Chains A and B, each alone.
Chain A
Amino acid sequence: MAHFPKPGAGSWTEHYPELGTGPVSYEDSISPEHYELERKAIFARTWLNVGRVEQIPRAGSYFTKEIQAARTSIVVVRGKGGEIHAFHNICRHRGNKLVWNDYPGEETKGTCRQFTCKYHGWRYSTEGELTFVQQESEFFDLDKEDYGLAAIEVETWEGFIFVNLDPENTTSVHDYLGALGAGLAGYPFDEMTQVYKYRANVGSNWKLFIDAFAEFYHAPVLHAKQATAEESRKLSSVGFEALAYELDGPHGMVSSWGGMSPPKDLDMVKPIERALHSGLFGPWDRPDVEGLDTLPPALNPARHKAWGVDSFVFFPNFMLLVWAPGWYLTYHYWPTSYNTHIFEGTLCFVPPKNATERLRQELAAVTFKEYALQDGNTLEATQTMLESRAVSEFPLNDQEILLRHLHKTARDYVGEHQTTATPVRISAVS
C-alpha cells in the first residue's frame, strides 16, 4: 500500500527514464580494473569534500588528508590573510611527504607558521612559497620561486572545504553541486560545531556503503533488533517509503519521514530515550539558533509534517544528512582498493548549553555507531558474495533509485573519461 504519493510517471525511478528499471550489474563494485578507471575518471577529477572551515580556524591552522583513490596526500591550510590553500603534501626537493607526524600514512593537524620538511629542512610558507633551502649555495642555479608547493584547487561551499585534483577543471564547486547544493544554502551549518567523528575500515567497495545509506528499505529489517519488540514488528509490517526523491546531475537526495519529537506513544521508545528525550534522530527538541524555523528549499521538498531527515548524495563520496530536530551528519567514503574503503561518519550539533543537552547528543552519537556497525558488517558479507560472481544482475526497487543512479553515474564518468582521457598533470604555485 502506498502511503506517500509518487510522481505522475508512476514511480520515482520512471520519473527519471534514463535510469531504466531493469536489473543492475554490480561488476563495477568487484572489478579491480574498473576501480583503476574510477580512480582516474572520478576521484582525480571531481570536487571532493575534505573538511569544514571550523577545522582551520586561524592563520596557520592546517590538516592533512590522505586521498588514496587519487594516490595523493594533501595539506589544507589557512593562509596569513585568512584564505584557504590546498597543496599536494610533497616536498619539492626530493619528494618526501612534507607534513606528517610519526607515521607517514596517518593524517595529522595543527597550527604552524611554516611547513618544514623532516628530511633536509626545506621550508614553505602557508601560501606554498619555498622560503628556505638548507645549504642553498650547494645547488645549481636554484630559483626558489620555481619550487613552491604543488597547489590544488580549493573552494568552500557553506563552510565545507572541497578540493579538485584536476588542473583542467573549470567548474566551480557551487556549480558542481547544482540545484541540490544551492537549495541548501543558508542552513546554519556554521552553528553546529559540536563534533563527533567516527572512522572505520570497511571491507567493501566504496559504492556499497553509499548504497546502504542511500536507501531505508533495509532499515526495518537489518536494524529490527535495535527497537523495542512491538515497535520493531510495527516498522517491518509497514516497510519503508520515502516522502520524496530528487536527482540533479550526478547528485541525488531522499527525503524521509521519521523521528519523534516527542513520540506519539512513549512506549515506542526505549527507557533511556524517554529519560533523555533523544535517540537515533537526535535530541527531540530543536536548538535555539537562527535558520531552523524556515528551512532552505531543498529540505523537506514534499513539505510533509512527518519529515524526519533528508539524505543528500553528493557525487562521488560525500553524503550530507540534515535531521528535522536541527543537526547534521556527514558520511565520507574514501576508497583504498576495489574492495576496501575508509568510512567516516561525523555528527555535528549546536554546542550544548548544559549537561542534559550534552547527554542527549551523546545518546544520538553512540546510537549512530550501533546502527553503523550493523551496516558495516553486512557490507563485507555483500562484497564477498558479489565477488563469487555466482549471480551477476540484481533487481533494484523504486526505493533504491539512488543506488541505481549512483552506479549509473559512476559508470558514465568512467565511460566519458575513456573517450576523452587527457593525462592528469600537477601544477605548481608561482
Chain B
Amino acid sequence: MPTFPADFTDLEPFADWSLETEAERYAKRLSSTMDELQAFYDAAFPRLAGAMAYLDQLDLSALPENATRLLWLCYSLVNASFPVEVWRQSRVPDSGAASMHMLVEPAV
C-alpha cells in the first residue's frame, strides 16, 4: 500500500523520512550523509508547495493516515533543510556535545 496520497507517489523512495516525532526526524538527519540529505531535499523540496496545498484542503485535526504521513515527511524536510541549505553538515556547527530533547510536541 502506498505511504502517501496518490499525487505524491513520487516521494515513495523517501518514505523512511516519514517519522512521527521530532526525536526520530532529528536522529535520522544526524545519521544521514550529506549526499543522502541532499537527495531527500532535492526530491521533497519541490513538492512542498504542492503538499501544503493538498493538505490545506483537509481538516488538520482529522487527517487520513496517508495525509498524516505526508505531513510528517514535510516536517522531516524542514529538519533536513538546515544542513542542505546552509551548514553542509548534518549537525549545527559549533554545537559539540550539546543536546536538547523535545518533551512536548503537538499530537499531529
Interface residues of chain A, those whose CB is within 8 Å of chain B, are 194-202, 222, 225-228, 270-272, 275-276, 343-346, 352-356, 358-359, 361-363, 365-367, 369-370, 372-374, 376-378, 380
> A197 is contacted by which of B49, B82, B103 (Cβ under 8 Å)?
B103
* B55 in contact with A225 (CB, 8 Å): no
* B106 in contact with A196 (CB, 8 Å): yes
* A358 in contact with B102 (CB, 8 Å): no
For the complex, give the distance between the alpha carbons of A386 and B97 in Å.
19
* B94 in contact with A226 (CB, 8 Å): no
For the complex, give the distance between the alpha carbons of A359 and B106 in Å.
11
* B93 in contact with A225 (CB, 8 Å): yes
Residues of chain A contacted by B105 (CB below 8 angstroms): 196-197, 365
> B94 is contacted by which of A225, A272, A356 (Cβ under 8 Å)?
A225
* B60 in contact with A194 (CB, 8 Å): no
* B103 in contact with A199 (CB, 8 Å): yes
* A355 in contact with B58 (CB, 8 Å): yes
> A359 is contacted by which of B58, B75, B99 (Cβ under 8 Å)?
B75
Residues of chain B contacted by A359 (CB below 8 angstroms): 52, 71, 74-75, 78
For the complex, give the distance between the alpha carbons of A199 and B104 in Å.
9
Interface residues on B, range: 35 or more
For the complex, give the distance between the alpha carbons of A201 and B92 in Å.
18
Residues of chain A contacted by B22 (CB below 8 angstroms): 365-366
B85 within 8 Å of A (CB atoms): yes
Q: Min CB distance, B35 to chain A, in Å?
A: 19
- Nearest neighbor of A367 in chain B, beta-carbon distance: B82
For the complex, give the distance between the alpha carbons of A376 and B96 in Å.
9
* B92 in contact with A200 (CB, 8 Å): no
Residues of chain B contacted by A380 (CB below 8 angstroms): 96-98
Mask for B18-41, Cβ within 8 A of A = 1, else 0?
000010001000000000000000
Residues of chain B contacted by A345 (CB below 8 angstroms): 100
Residues of chain A contacted by B106 (CB below 8 angstroms): 194-196, 358, 361
Q: A196-B106, A228-B86, A275-B45 are in contact. Are A373 and B92 (CB under 8 A)?
A: yes
Residues of chain B contacted by A377 (CB below 8 angstroms): 94-98
> A372 is contacted by which of B45, B51, B100, B103 (Cβ under 8 Å)?
B100
Residues of chain B contacted by A202 (CB below 8 angstroms): 98
Q: A222-B94, A271-B81 are in contact. Are A355 and B56 (CB under 8 A)?
A: yes
Residues of chain A contacted by B45 (CB below 8 angstroms): 271-272, 275
> A196 is contacted by which of B79, B97, B102 (Cβ under 8 Å)?
B102
- Nearest neighbor of A349 in chain B, beta-carbon distance: B106
- Nearest neighbor of B102 in chain A, beta-carbon distance: A198
Q: Min CB distance, B44 to chain A, in Å?
A: 11
Interface centre among B86, B92, B95, B100 (most CB of A within 10 A): B100
* A358 in contact with B60 (CB, 8 Å): yes
